[in-house]
A = this chain, B = another copy of it.
């Protein structure tokens, strides 16, 4: 879980949010050496936050949402004790709005996941 503790790693995650990137592409956006980034990538890989795939001579990285979901779930137990109800109301509103937006266009997704 300490994977998200490092600022470089967090930035990598943010980059990956917009889509998959090759190791070189990622490394190129930092001032630190490529091997350094490579190791950060390994940490992210081992922590399960990121998934990698070899394509030709380059390795592409992408986020693996499952781990994030789990983290969210863990954090949730601490958000409850306080203004729980307020937040639920806000969430309800958001859910409603998004569902409307979804119906407006057409939806096609893949399934399976937990509550959080």
Contact = CB atoms under 8 A, between A and B. Distances in A.
Contact of A78 (B17, B85, B99): B17
Secondary structure class of chain A's binding surface, majority of residues:
helix
Nearest to A82: B65
A25 interface: no
A86 B68 contact: no
Given A1-B4, A2-B6, A5-B1, A112 B92 contact: no
Contacts of A4: 1, 5
Given A75-B75, A86-B109, 7 more contacts: A2-B2, A17-B81, A63-B78, A71-B75, A85-B102, A87-B115, A91-B116
Interface string A74-107: 0111110111111110111011001100100001
Contacts of A63: 78, 81-82
A92 B90 contact: no
9 contacts: A1-B5, A1-B10, A2-B2, A65-B83, A75-B75, A83-B112, A88-B95, A90-B114, A91-B91
